[in-house]
Amino acid sequence: MATTNDLKNGTVMVIDGQLWQVVEFQHVKPGKGPAFVRTKIKNVMSGKIVDKTFNAGLKIETATVDRRDMTYLYQDGTDYVFMDEKTYEQINVPEEIVGDARNFMIDNQSVIVSQHDGTVLFVELPATVVLTITHTEPGLQGDRSSAGTKPATLETGYEIQVPLYMEEGTRIKVDTRDGSFSGRVND
């Protein structure tokens, strides 16, 4: 058991027998009345996001989540195969659980796989990953400093918007939270 004062992003709690992960939280202390915690929580199984307000200091049940460092190996049909970096045990994770993370995963990439009672809940990626642009239209001469963007396909097959001067074969950083371009990687 914990209290709402202990909440932080990523905390998984049990509400009405279902697992919910804290996406955002904010402690609010109004001038009048008791303090409260405003949260945005996501149902771990369905992916539904709701806003919920708790009184400050309210006891909540937290779920035991086992976070393991794993390596993404390959895709097997609709499943993704991961290997535990300590025990070398391999697990298959369905596409629905991997979710949008699949857009940014390449072979042999380290990720964190979170499990509860042996059931995989979600796959966490680093905040940014380095990927290579495999296809994009050529940039125009003179468009080196303008703020325009163009579509580019990454090595995972995912398409994002990049600055006009980016070319095929360029390695870039991509923000995994929203799929946006974060910068060029100078090798």
Q: CA dihedral defined by 73, 118, 126, 39, rounded to 10 degrees?
A: 150
Return the pLDDT at 70: 92
CB atoms within 10 A of CB 89: 11
Domains of the chain are 9-53 (2.30.30.30), 64-122 (2.40.50.140), 126-182 (2.40.50.140)
Contact 136, 162 (CB under 8 A): yes
63 CB-near residues (< 8 Å, 6+ apart): 12, 13, 14, 19, 116
What pTM value is reported for the model?
0.71
CB atoms within 10 A of CB 33: 8
Return the pLDDT at 73: 92
Return the pLDDT at 82: 92
Q: How far apart are CA 174 and CA 127, in angstroms?
A: 8
Which residues in the chain land under pLDDT 70? 139-147, 187
Return the pLDDT at 83: 92
For 133, half-sphere exposure in the C-beta direction (CA atoms, 13 angstrom radius) is 26
Return the pLDDT at 142: 57
Type of residue numbered 39? T
Return the pLDDT at 81: 92
